[in-house]
Amino acid sequence: MATTGTPQRHPPAPRSPAHRSPDSETVDEEIAFDTRQRGVMIPDLFTQPPPVRDALATETSQVQDETVEVCLPLLGGEGNDVQYNEHGVPPLDRERHVRFLHQCLGQLPGRFVAADASRPWFLYWCLSALTMLEEDVTSYRQSVAATARSMQNDMGGFGGGGRQLSHMATTYAVVLSLALVGGDDAYEVADREAMWRWLCSLKQPDGGFQVCLGGEEDIRGAYCATVIISLLRLPLHLAPESPAYTEDGSVNLLTGVGDYVRRCQTFEGGISGQPNAEAHGAYAFCALGCLALLDHPGRSIRSYLDVPRLIAWLSSRQYAPEGGFSGRTNKLVDGCYSHWVGGCFPLIEACLNSTSGGLGAPAPAAEDPATATASSKRLPPADESLFSREGLIRYILCCCQDETKRGGLRDKPGKMSDAYHSCYVLSGLSSAQHQWLLDDPEAAQQQQQQKGQAEQGPVPDQTTSPPLPSLAGGEAVWAILPYLDGLQVFDNADRVRPIHPVYAIPQQSVRAMRDYFRARQGF
Amino acid sequence: MPSKGKPAKSRASEASKSSPQPTTTTIASATQPPLPPTPPSDDTQTVSDRAKSRSAAARPLDTLLHQKGGALSALSRQDQSAWLAARIASRLAKRPALAASATTTGGGAAVARLSCGGGPKTLKEAWKAVNELSLPLRAVDSTSAAAARKRGYCYRNGEGDLRVKEFEARWEKKLVLSCLAVESRCFRDRRERERRGDREEKTGEQVVVTEHEVFEETRRRREMAALRRELYGGGVGKDGKLATDPEWDDVEPVVLEEPEGALAAIAYPADYAEAMAYLRAVMQAKEYSERCLRLTEHIINMNPSHYTVWLYRAANVFALKVSIPDEIAWLNRVALSNLKNYQIWHHRHLLVENYFPTIASDPATLSTFAAAERSFLQQILSQDTKNYHVWSYRSYLVGKLNLFGDADELAAIEAMIDDDVRNNSAWSHRFFLVFSNPAHASPGFAATEADPKVPAAVVDREVEYAEEKIRLAPQNQSGWNYLRGVLVKGGRKLGSVGEFVVGFVKGLGEGEEAEDVMSTHALDLLAEIYAEKGDKEKADLSLTRLGQKWDRIRVGYWEWRKKCVEAPA
C-alpha cells in the first residue's frame, strides 16, 4: 500500500551538491544519471525476498524461489531496453500489445490446432483486450457475426468451431464477443429460443449446469449460464425437457445456483471448480460473478458464502516481492490471476460496502436456513483497498509485458505472451486502476420497481409463490471511477478502459445488449 | 480437305533466287525455320522452348515476316503471295465445313469471299501456292502458358520452365496414375458386387474381396496419393490417410468452409482437416463402430483438447460395449503423454460412471479396480503433483467407490505430503477424505462450518498431524489452513491451539530486536485467537505488526481485519 509504504521506501537518491556540477549544461546528464540510478523510488517490499522464509526446501519452495529470482530484476528497474518512470515502473506498451492482439485474431498457424475447440475464446480475449486498450473493435462486427454464425448449432449455443458440440464456455465467449462489437447485426446472430432450450437441457437438479451435453458440471457452467441468460435476457422458466424440470414450476434456471456455489467453498475459504476439490482463483471469480448476478452482492454473497474466510483466502493470493496473485495456496504468481483473483475484489467491496447487508442490518436468510453461516456476523465496510493495488500494477507492468517486438502480455517472466494472458492481465490492470461503486440493494430495487411500473407490469416470475430466484443483480448499475487514493505508480496514459466487474466487458456494451433485448416480446 | 500436294521446294528456291533483293532470306530456306534458332535437343531444353520451335516450324512465313520486322513489304513478292496463301488456307483449314462447301456448285464464290475477301480465282491461286510450297495447314496455335494449360499441359514447375525430360517423366507418372485408377475402379466394382451378392463370372462362386485385395488396394491408393501429390500438389480428401483407406470408401467427408473473414481461423494441417471432415460425416450419421473409435483416437492424438471428439468417443465406447478396463488402459497411455489435458479426466469419469454399477456388488473386482486407479493416479501425480483435474477426479473416485476409510488412500496422500509438505492439493484431498467421510460426517454442512458429528478423536488426530507438519516448515500456509479448517470443522475454539501457535511468535511488540516471527500465518491465527478471547488490544497489535513488517503486501487486508476486531460481534 502506498500509504504505509513510505517508511519502507528508500529515501530519494541524495543529490549532494558535491555531485552537482556548477556547469548548467551538465544538468541533462545528471537527470539521465538519476534515471539510471534505478530503484530509487521502489519500496523494498518489491525488491527484497519476503522477511519470513523456511529453511526446508521442497519442490514448491524451489519453484517459488526461482520465480522470485526472475521477477526481482524486472521489479527493481533492471529490465533491458525498458524505460522506467520515477517509480521504477515501465509504461504500458499499447502499440505492441495492440498489434499482437490483431494478429491473434487473424489466421493462426497449424500449430494452433490444439485451440481448434476454443476459437471463440480467441475472439473474446483479443476483442476484450483491444477494447481495454481503447481500440475501436466495431470494424470486426461483420467478421465476428460471420464467425459466430459458423459456430452456432441448431440445437442452441455455440461450439468451439463449425459442427462442434455447443459448449458453455465457447457460448459465453461468443456472446461476449458479440456484445463487444455491438450492433443489431451482431445481437441478432444468437438464436435465443434455441439457446434457452439448450441451457434448460444443461440445468441439473442440484442447481448447477453441465458445460455441454454429457459434459462435466462445474462452477464455470453456472457462471457462464447466468451471464448468457442475463445478457440475452432469456426467460427463466424451464422447458419440460430439462433434467431439473418440476411440474409444479417451483424450479427455474437459477434455482439452486447459489447453493451450488456454496457447496464449492472449501475449508480454506476459496472456491473450487466443483464440490470437494481444491480452492482455485479462477473459480472464485466464477462464484462471485454468478452470485452478483443472482442478486445484489450485498445480499447474495453474504447469503451463500463465508465472506471473512473468502477474503482471507483471496488476500493471501497476493505475494511479495512479486506483487501479483497466485491461483492456489503455495502455487506461483501468474498474470491471469490479476483478473481471476483481482477481479473478485470489486465484488467483495460491493458486498461489504452495501449498508443494508453491512454493519446496520442482519444478513437476509438464504434459501436454506442452514446457510446463515459466519457471514451473518456483521462485517465492516472496505473503506480502503483490500489488496495492494500498487503491488499488482507493478507486477503487471514490470513482469507481464513481453518486452520483445512480439508484444502481448504473459503469465510471468520467461513465458510466452498469449491472447488469454493479454486479456486477463489487462482485466486485472483495470481492477487495480479503478473502483466500482454499487447502489444499495434497496435503492436499486426501488429504481427497478419504478422502471417495472413504467414498463407495464412486473417480471412474470414474481407472480408465483414462493418467489423464484431472479437475475436482480443483472439490473445493478455500477459507478466506475479511477482509483486515486494513495500513490499512483503508473502514468495516467497507462490507465486502461474499465470493464464491468461481472461481465468483464465495458458497462456500455453490457447495457446496449441488454437494452436491445429488453424491448423484445418473447424470443 | 485439299491435299498438301507434292513438295515444291525447287520452285520456291528458284523464285527466291530471282529476287531482286539478295539480302532477303526467302521461303526457300524457311523449310527449316530460321527463327528462333533450334535450341540444342539436350537435357537443358525446356518444354516451352521446344513448343516455340515447333510452332515456328509450322509457320515458316510468319516466322520470316517476324524476322523482317513485321512489315509485309519487306518480303519478296513471291513470299508475300505465299504468306497470303498460307493465311487463307489455314483459315479454311480451321473451318472444315466452309472448306467442304467450296466444292459444291455455287458455293465457291461465297467461300472465297468469306475466307480471303476476294473472288474464287484468288482462292484457287492460294490453294495452288500452298500446294506447291507444301506449307503446313494446321499448326499449334500459341505457345502461351495459358494455352498450354487449356490443353492440360504443364510447362512450368516451381523452379521455372520444365525441361523436356521432366515433362516426359511427368507424362509417364500420369500414365501410371491412370492405370492405377483403372485398377482401383475395378476394386471398387468388385466390392460393390460383393455387397450385392453377385457371383464370379468364371467360377460362379460368390464374389469375395479378400484381405489381400484390400491390402493391395490400400497400397495402390497410397501410391496414387503420392503420385497425385507429386503431380498436382496436396489436397484434403484426395490423398489423406482416410481417403486412401478402402474402409472409409462409403463415407463422404464433410468439408467445412470457413465463412469469409472468419476470425482466428486455423491453417489446419491436412491430416487433421481430413480426419475432422470424416468425423463430421460419421457424427452426422450417428455411426458407432470400431472404425469410429479408431478415428477418434487418430484425432485425439493430434488434438487432445477437442471435447466434441471425446464425447463422441465415449458414446462409441458405450454403444459398442467396449470393455471399460481396456478403454482405461488406452486412456492411461493418452493421459501420460498429455499431462495438462482435462478432457481425459472427464472421459475417465464417464467410464467409471458406466462401469461402477457392473462391479458394485463384487468387492474383489471393486478393490482391484480401486487399487489400479490409485496406482495410475500416483504415477501421473508423481509427474505433475498439483494437477487440478487429476485431483478433482481423485476426489470423485473416492466418493464413487467410497474410499474414505481406505487406509491405502490416506497413506498415499501422506506420502505425497511427506514428499512436499507444501503440496496444497494433497492437503485439500486429505481434508476431503477425513471430513467428508460419510461414516462420521453430516451432509449439508458447508466446508467452513462446524460439524457436530465429527468424533473428537478424529479432530485430535488431524490437529496433531497438522502441527507436526507445521513444525517442519512454519511458513507453509497449507498446514495452517488445514489446522484452522480442522478446528472449525471440529467445533473447537481456535484458542485450543494457542500454546502451539504462540511458539512461532516471539517478543511481539517488544521492539525490532526482540520481535521475531517464524510464521506470518501463526501471527494471523494468533490475532484471531486474541480476538476470540476478547483481547482486542493484542489482536490489534498482531494485525498491525503484520501490516507494518511481516506481511506488508496484505496491509489493506490487515487493516480491514482490525476493523473486524473492533466491530460488535
Q: In the predicted model, is pLDDT for residue A272 greater than 90?
A: yes
* Rounded Cα gap, residues B469 and B484, in angstroms: 14
pLDDT tens string B243-300: 888 888 888 888 888 888 899 999 998 889 999 999 999 999 999 999 999 999 999 9
A38 is annotated as an active-site residue: no
A49 vs B contacts (CB less than 8 Å): none
Q: Which whole number is the average pLDDT over B180-186?
A: 90
| Cβ–Cβ below 8 Å for A45 and B553 | yes
Q: Which whole number is the average pLDDT over A251-266?
A: 97
* Rounded Cα gap, residues A69 and A84, in angstroms: 20
Which residues have C-beta within 8 Å of that of residue A497, sequence separation ≥ 6?
A131, A132, A133, A134, A430, A506
Range A254-290 burial, b when 16+ CB lie within 10 A, else e: bbbbbbbbbbbbbbbbbbbbbbbbbbbbbbbbbbbbb
Chain position carrying cell 486477463: A424
Q: In the predicted model, is pLDDT for residue B516 greater than 60?
A: yes
B-facing residues of A in 193-222 (CB < 8 A) are: 212-216
Task: List C-alpha distances in Å: B192 to A384, B187, B239, B251.
Answer: 79, 9, 22, 14
What pLDDT band is residue B42 in, cutting at 50, 70 and 90? low
Q: Mean pLDDT for chain B? A: 84
Q: Would you call A110 an interface residue with chain B, using a CB distance cutoff of 8 Å?
A: yes
Range A352-390 burial, b when 16+ CB lie within 10 A, else e: bbbebbbeeeebbebbeeebebbbbbbbbbbebbbbbbb
A399 is annotated as an active-site residue: no
* Rounded Cα gap, residues B355 and B350, in angstroms: 9
3-class secondary-structure state, position A327: coil
Q: In the predicted model, is pLDDT for residue A39 greater than 60?
A: no
**pLDDT at position B178, please?**
87
The pLDDT > 90 percentage for chain B reads 53
B523 vs A contacts (CB less than 8 Å): none
Q: In the predicted model, is pLDDT for residue B365 greater than 50?
A: yes
H/E stretch holding B292: helix B290-302
* Rounded Cα gap, residues B383 and B336, in angstroms: 9
How many other CB atoms sit within 10 Å of the CB of residue B258?
15
Residue A191 DSSP symbol: -
pLDDT tens string B528-537: 999 999 999 9
pLDDT tens string A390-435: 999 999 999 999 999 999 999 999 999 999 999 999 999 999 999 9
How many angstroms away from the CA of A186 is the closest CA of chain B? 14
A311 vs B contacts (CB less than 8 Å): 557, 560
Q: Which whole number is the average pLDDT over B226-240?
A: 64
Q: How far is CA B201 from the centre of its chain?
A: 45
| Cβ–Cβ below 8 Å for A117 and B446 | no
B-facing residues of A in 439-498 (CB < 8 A) are: none
What cell does A449 get? Answer: 420497481
B422 vs A contacts (CB less than 8 Å): 58-61, 330
Catalytic hit among A389, A418, A494, A516:
A418
**pLDDT at position B10, please?**
43
3-class secondary-structure state, position A105: helix
* Rounded Cα gap, residues A128 and B88, in angstroms: 73
Range B111-140 burial, b when 16+ CB lie within 10 A, else e: bbeebbeeebebbebbbebbbbbebbeebb
How many angstroms away from the CA of A371 is the closest CA of chain B? 8
Residue of A nearest to B448 (CA): A267
| Contact predicate B254/B277, CB 8 Å | yes
3-class secondary-structure state, position A486: coil
Chain position carrying cell 443483472: A474
Out of B311, B563, B564, name the one closest to residue A215 (CB). Answer: B311
3-class secondary-structure state, position A269: coil
- Higher pLDDT, residue B135 or B374: B374
Q: Which whole number is the average pLDDT over B197-225?
A: 88
Look at A10-14, A56-60, A305-309, A461-465 and tell me which has the smallest mean pLDDT. A10-14
What pLDDT band is residue A28 in, cutting at 50, 70 and 90? very low
Strands B160-161 and B505-506: unpaired
**pLDDT at position A33, please?**
36
Residue B258 DSSP symbol: P
Q: In the predicted model, is pLDDT for residue B334 greater than 50?
A: yes
**pLDDT at position B153, please?**
55
Residue of B nearest to A177 (CA): B263
* Rounded Cα gap, residues A376 and A359, in angstroms: 10
Q: What is the pTM of this model?
A: 0.78
What cell does B365 get? Answer: 473386482
Q: Does domain A94-460+471-518 have CATH number 1.20.210.10?
A: no
Q: In the predicted model, is pLDDT for residue A273 greater than 50?
A: yes
Q: Which whole number is the average pLDDT over A475-482?
A: 90
DSSP string, A85-97: -TTS-PPP-HHHH
Which residues have C-beta within 8 Å of that of residue B426, sequence separation ≥ 6?
B385, B413, B416, B417, B420
Task: List C-alpha distances in Å: A246 to A204, A242, A249, A251, A271.
Answer: 12, 9, 6, 6, 29
Q: Which whole number is the average pLDDT over A327-348?
A: 98
**pLDDT at position B156, please?**
57
pLDDT tens string B380-399: 999 999 999 999 999 999 99
Task: List C-alpha distances in Å: B116 to A2, A40, B123.
Answer: 100, 98, 7
Phi, psi of A329 (to 5 degrees): -60, 135
**pLDDT at position A443, please?**
63
Q: Which whole number is the average pLDDT over B155-174?
A: 73
How many angstroms away from the CA of A238 is the closest CA of chain B? 25
Q: In the predicted model, is pLDDT for residue B150 greater than 80?
A: no
3-class secondary-structure state, position A271: strand
How many other CB atoms sit within 10 Å of the CB of residue A183?
16
How many other CB atoms sit within 10 Å of the CB of residue B206?
11
**pLDDT at position B2, please?**
44
**pLDDT at position A451, please?**
54
- Higher pLDDT, residue B154 or A318: A318
Q: In the predicted model, is pLDDT for residue A88 greater than 90?
A: yes
What residue type is assigned to position A203 of the chain? K
Sign of CA dihedral B224, B230, B232, B238: positive
| Cβ–Cβ below 8 Å for B560 and A263 | no
Q: Which whole number is the average pLDDT over B39-67?
A: 74
Mutate to test the interface with A, among B383, B554, B558 (most CBs of A within 10 A): B554
Listed residue (A181, A66, A82, A187) closest to A131, CA to CA: A181
How many angstroms away from the CA of A456 is the closest CA of chain B? 41
* Rounded Cα gap, residues B300 and B309, in angstroms: 7
Sign of CA dihedral A11, A17, A19, A23: positive
**pLDDT at position A6, please?**
37
A351 is annotated as an active-site residue: no
**pLDDT at position A36, please?**
43
A328 is annotated as an active-site residue: yes
| Contact predicate A190/A523, CB 8 Å | no
Check: complex ipTM more than 0.95: no
**pLDDT at position B242, please?**
86
| Cβ–Cβ below 8 Å for B557 and A312 | yes
Q: Would you call A57 an interface residue with chain B, using a CB distance cutoff of 8 Å?
A: no
Mutate to test the interface with A, among B236, B258, B266 (most CBs of A within 10 A): B266
Q: Which whole number is the average pLDDT over A95-106?
A: 97
- Higher pLDDT, residue B376 or A523: B376
Catalytic hit among A119, A299, A309, A331:
A331
Q: How far is CA A332 from the centre of its chain?
A: 19
What pLDDT band is residue A370 in, cutting at 50, 70 and 90? very low
Q: Which whole number is the average pLDDT over B216-240?
A: 73
How many angstroms away from the CA of A423 is the closest CA of chain B? 15
Chain position carrying cell 434455482: A255
* Rounded Cα gap, residues B221 and B239, in angstroms: 8
Q: In the predicted model, is pLDDT for residue B96 greater than 60?
A: yes
**pLDDT at position B228, please?**
77
**Greatest CA span in chain B, whole angstroms?**
135
Mutate to test the interface with B, among A278, A286, A303, A390 (most CBs of B within 10 A): A278
What pLDDT band is residue B92 in, cutting at 50, 70 and 90? confident
A102 vs B contacts (CB less than 8 Å): none
Q: In the predicted model, is pLDDT for residue B416 greater than 60?
A: yes
What pLDDT band is residue A378 in, cutting at 50, 70 and 90? confident
Q: Which whole number is the average pLDDT over B441-453?
A: 93
A191 is annotated as an active-site residue: no
DSSP string, B453-520: TS-HHHHHHHHHHHHHHHHH-TT-HHHHHHHHHHHHHTT--GGGGHHHHHTTEESTTS-TTT-EES-H
| Cβ–Cβ below 8 Å for B446 and A306 | yes
| Contact predicate A329/A315, CB 8 Å | no
* Rounded Cα gap, residues B503 and A31, in angstroms: 51
Q: Would you call A150 an interface residue with chain B, using a CB distance cutoff of 8 Å?
A: yes
Phi, psi of B469 (to 5 degrees): -75, -30
Q: In the predicted model, is pLDDT for residue A25 greater than 70?
A: no
**pLDDT at position A26, please?**
38
Look at A48-62, A315-329, B142-156, B396-410 and tell me which has the smallest mean pLDDT. B142-156
Q: Would you call A170 an interface residue with chain B, using a CB distance cutoff of 8 Å?
A: no
* Rounded Cα gap, residues B439 and B457, in angstroms: 14
What cell does A194 get? Answer: 434455441
Strands A434-438 and B505-506: unpaired
Sign of CA dihedral A301, A304, A306, A310: negative
DSSP string, A214-226: TS-B-HHHHHHHH
| Cβ–Cβ below 8 Å for A276 and B557 | no
Q: In the predicted model, is pLDDT for residue B148 greater than 60?
A: no
Sort B61 into a burial class: Cβ within 10 Å, 0-12 / 13-18 / 19+: buried
Chain position carrying cell 468387492: B363
Q: In the predicted model, is pLDDT for residue B520 greater than 60?
A: yes
A421 is annotated as an active-site residue: yes
Q: Would you call A344 an interface residue with chain B, using a CB distance cutoff of 8 Å?
A: no
Listed residue (B43, B47, B38, B42) closest to B149, CA to CA: B47
| Cβ–Cβ below 8 Å for B520 and A52 | yes
**pLDDT at position B149, please?**
53
A280 is annotated as an active-site residue: yes
Alpha helices in A395-492 (DSSP H): 419-433, 441-454
* Rounded Cα gap, residues A203 and A190, in angstroms: 19
What cell does A434 get? Answer: 479503478
Residue B328 sits at the vertex; the CA angle it makes with B325 and B329, to the nearest 5 degrees, is 85
